[in-house]
Structure 1
């Protein structure tokens, strides 16, 4: 095992918190000479309640995820980090810890302290909280500087 990380998973959702976490993930990957897996989970579960289901919303969510990951991949490569991108549909809470992390043999998961889905966070807890509770490996939850200032 050792003290170095080899496979780092960074979960992104388009929020400024995830972007700040990505910047930290780049630095940690560089220090550890680790591969970075940038992961975006397209959560279309709420669209299933719409009748009739409008497939353009699914397409828009997928396109947003593809563009998001492409941008992050370019930024990681410009920083000299070996990177792969993973996009998957489903619940971010389940997909990240139960599916993606074991599949890529992640030894560190990095995520922002909060994300885009405030309603879900209020009702059933945040994605980052779930990752901490159910992760098969180390987890680093990143707070943005703005969050830190608000708490003091």
Structure 2
């Protein structure tokens, strides 16, 4: 019997690698007749050091994330996937992606880009991807190549084409 995934999670952080994971996840979801669930995590630690923190800043970040996620939903539907949903979460991305969202939504596969946007965090406290591969409650597929299965490393620093719309 073939393993069939029914609930696929993709973490969206605005990076090119996350977009690659998203695009591949759309195809996997179509082949498996699965739900694609997208999550964007607003890292609340980023606001802890802002002395003039106010709710308007969080609202602005949330509104931008919502527009981006809606663009991803539109792209998935344009590519033939109708069962696609998203959420915007607040907190530590590592735990939310690896444990909280998968438990809440019965996720059986996480597809995640090999690297994300924040190189400083990766150096200081480790990458979200590395943590997810160790701590996830389900299978994890780390996307390292583009849609032609060519190394995505040549594209480092490239902005998501979905966000550019």
Q: Fold conserved (TM > 0.5)? A: yes
Is the contact made by 1:111 and 1:142 (CA closer than 8 Å) also made in structure 2? Answer: yes
Instruction: Report what 1:115 is aligned to.
Output: 116
> What are the residue-to-residue correspondences of 1:54-65 with 2, within 5 Å?
54-65=54-65
After the TM superposition, list the runs of 4 or more consecutive aligned residues in structure 1 that deviate by more than 3 angstroms.
none
Mapped partners of 2:58, 2:87: distance in 1: 17
TM normalised by structure 1 equals: 0.91
Mapped partners of 1:143, 1:92: distance in 2: 20
Q: Is residue 2:8 matched to residue 1:8?
A: yes
> How far did 1:80 drift?
2.1
Find the residue that maps to 1:68 and give its secondary structure: helix
> How far did 1:2 drift?
5.7
Mapped partners of 1:149, 1:111: distance in 2: 16
Q: Per the alignment, do residues 4 and 120 of structure 1 end up closer, same or farther by CA in structure 2, a change over 3 Å counting?
A: same
Greater mean alpha carbon deviation, residues 57-66 or residues 34-43: 57-66
The runs of 5 or more residues in structure 2 that have no matched partner are 146-150, 157-165
Instruction: Report what 1:43 is aligned to.
Output: 43
Find the residue that maps to 1:3 and give its secondary structure: coil
Is the contact made by 1:44 and 1:58 (CA closer than 8 Å) also made in structure 2? Answer: no
> What are the residue-to-residue correspondences of 1:1-150 with 2, within 5 Å?
3-81=3-81, 82-144=83-145, 145-147=151-153
Is the contact made by 1:11 and 1:18 (CA closer than 8 Å) also made in structure 2? Answer: yes
Which one has the bigger helix percentage? 1
Q: Per the alignment, do residues 148 and 70 of structure 1 end up closer, same or farther by CA in structure 2, a change over 3 Å counting?
A: same
Is the contact made by 1:43 and 1:91 (CA closer than 8 Å) also made in structure 2? Answer: yes
Q: Per the alignment, do residues 47 and 76 of structure 1 end up closer, same or farther by CA in structure 2, a change over 3 Å counting?
A: same
> How far did 1:47 drift?
1.1
> How far did 1:148 drift?
6.6
